[in-house]
Amino acid sequence: MAIVHPTALVDSGAELASDVEIGPYVVVGAQVRIGRGTRVGAHCVLSGHTTIGEDNVFHPFSSIGGVPQDKKYAGEPTRLEIGDRNMVREYCTFNTGTAQDSGCTRIGNDNWIMAYVHVAHDVQLGNHATLANNATLAGHVRLGDWVTVGGLSGVHQFVKIGAYAFIGFSSAISQDVPPFIMADGNPSSARGFNIEGLRRRGFGPARMAAVKRMYRLLYREGLTLDDAKIRMANLLEEYPEAQEDVQLMLGFLAESTRGIVR
């Protein structure tokens, strides 16, 4: 059976896998589902229509599954879904979705989420992301895989941040950040591409060269965005090893709605 501290309040409607650990003074609501191996630290509150996967760790004082901070919210049965193996440090707040979007906030797998991080309604967070202390994701934000968001940074609602992007410390991100790009500042701008992050992810010389070319086309050759995309398409033949990377960038630019950081 789950290990539940005697001071915790777990609703009889909650579903806990057999080896879940619930710490002192935790509150677990009736519509919460928690998968195997997950540990919930002292004083956390898990509420709402919240589904949590396996082997997650929640450090003390986090609020998981609270209602959206959105004045339009009228009590609709929206959801929060959290994947597997996420590390969630102290005082984090994750909210459920809204009826104006998909109705679901989603957090993927293997994310490292540090203290005081806020994940607002309808955020779609991928896998292997790192969100440093006090990073704030506003409503409807989309983050790809392997994204890093520096401490004390804020991401404006509806912004998209592509896979492998890096957001520097104390930045205000109000436009989309393409994959692989490093951005920071207030107002934010592109500073380069995420060389060290790509090396750590195993990018070889050909893939690194293709990413460097895409960065230069976007930011260093004075091209319009449309012209840059046309030139990028030619890289599919020039760098066959990097076809997925080029397609990732082209797909992101095609779906960008707020314009990209420049």
CA 94 – CA 120 distance, rounded (Å):
6
> Each residue of 179-201: pLDDT tens digit?
999 999 999 999 999 999 999 99
Catalytic residues: 121-122, 139
Single-letter amino acid, residue 79: R
In the chain, % of residues over pLDDT 90: 100
Q: Count CA atoms within 13 Å of residue 126 on its CB side.
A: 18
pLDDT surpasses 90 at 1: no
List of residues 6+ apart from 163 with CB closer than 8 A: 126, 144, 145, 146, 147, 179, 180, 248
Strand, coil or helix: what is 91? coil
Confidence of residue 97 (pLDDT cuts 50, 70, 90): very high
CA 133 to chain centre: 14
Q: According to the model, what pLDDT value does residue 163 have?
A: 98
For 165-177, how does the pLDDT look when each residue is reduced to its tens digit (9 = 90+)? 999 999 999 999 9
187-190 long-range contacts, CB within 8 A, separation 24+? 188/261, 189/261, 189/262, 190/215, 190/218, 190/219, 190/261, 190/262
Query: Can you read off the two tokens belonging to residue 89?
Result: 């440090």
pLDDT per position as a tens digit, 6-64: 999 999 999 999 999 999 999 999 999 999 999 999 999 999 999 999 999 999 999 99
* pTM greater than 0.75: yes
Q: Give the pLDDT score at 124.
A: 98
Say if CB 22 and CB 40 are below 8 A apart: yes
Average pLDDT over residues 92-112: 98
